[in-house]
Amino acid sequence: MATSPDRTTGEPRDLTAHLMDQAMGHLFSAALRTAAQHRIADHLAEGPRTAEQLAAATGTHAPHLRRVLRYLATRGIFREDTAGAFQLTPAAALLRTGVPDSLHHAIMMMTDDLFRRTSADLPEAVREGGTSFERLYGAPLFTHLQSDPDARRLFDDGMSSLSAPVDEAVAAVYPFPATGATVVDVGGGRGGLLRAVLHRHPQLTGVLFDQAPPLAHHLLDGDELKDRWRVQEGDFFASVPEGGDIYVLKQVLHDWPDEACRRILRSCRQAMAAGSRLLVIDSVLPPGNAPHFGKTLDVAMMAVVDGKERTAEEFATLLSAEGFRLTRVLPTSAFPSIVDAVAE
């Protein structure tokens, strides 16, 4: 294969093909969206099917569909067998709808024009500073979402989808107290993380704190969690609920620059007693040149919301400025880590 690495240098043998393949990454994103939009993975759930069979089931053009699926198969999304039929791979299975850990809504969100346009404007963001999103849409992302119900629904559905595997990973790895304690999920969206934590740790109770739109579609109903949770609407820049033992900021701080993060942390610290815990769940960037999903997210946060991913040292500095001490960083089976801090 032309772009396979040289065994001696580790560099691609054909640097032209390699660089052009990277330059056309937008085509892969479009192909992935095409497969998700036409629910190809759903139609492969019962076994392999040819492009002609898939096209008949989805109302698409068979020759074009085959070429898109062949392209996706080069990166492990679907697999074509020797008979010309396509089948699910573990990655492609995550494109199915209505199944645990489905990433269908997350893919539809991240490949939507809302974010494609923002990425295309990255050269201007680097030249001028600020966010591409605000330059293109005339308002910061979260302000725009308040005025556009369809975009808000796309965002909330996408974030819930992306969060599901993270939620389970955090609930499984963190040593929550064995005795009764209250977990306050600050900016917790629809409550997927709080639900996972309460399911796994029946001794705990919880508070889901966020703005009204995500709370209106929270995920905490069910007999198993009855009487163990409540929701509270508010603005984490102003205040957060008092009386919790463990406060959680999952993929919140990476949305904001340092000064805004300090305001959020200040609100949390004012509500917390000394010795209570704060869990910051975000990517923790490693040193060096190795690939890491957090480095991808970091550029996305720069372009979309003026946020950033951070190193452990940057988290320690940010936390200490508002009365917290970072005690450890726990990796999870998902891409974020748990930055575990104590209120001093």
- What is the set of active-site residues? 254
Structure tokens at 166: 């993270």
Instruction: Confirm if 208 and 220 have CB atoms less than 8 A apart.
Output: yes
Instruction: Confirm if 79 and 72 have CB atoms less than 8 A apart.
Output: no
Question: Rounded CA gap, 224 and 331, in Å?
Answer: 28
Q: Report the interhelical angle of 293-304 vs 113-120 (nearest 10°).
A: 90
Per-residue three-class SS string for 18-84: HHHHHHCHHHHHHHHHHHHHCCHHHHCCCCCEEHHHHHHHHCCCHHHHHHHHHHHHCCCCCEECCCC
Closest Cα to residue 187, out of 143, 152, 229, 236?
236
Question: Rounded CA gap, 161 and 10, in Å?
Answer: 36
Tell me how far CA of residue 79 lies from CA of 6, 95, 141, 279, in angstroms.
25, 14, 37, 40
Structure tokens at 95: 């494109």
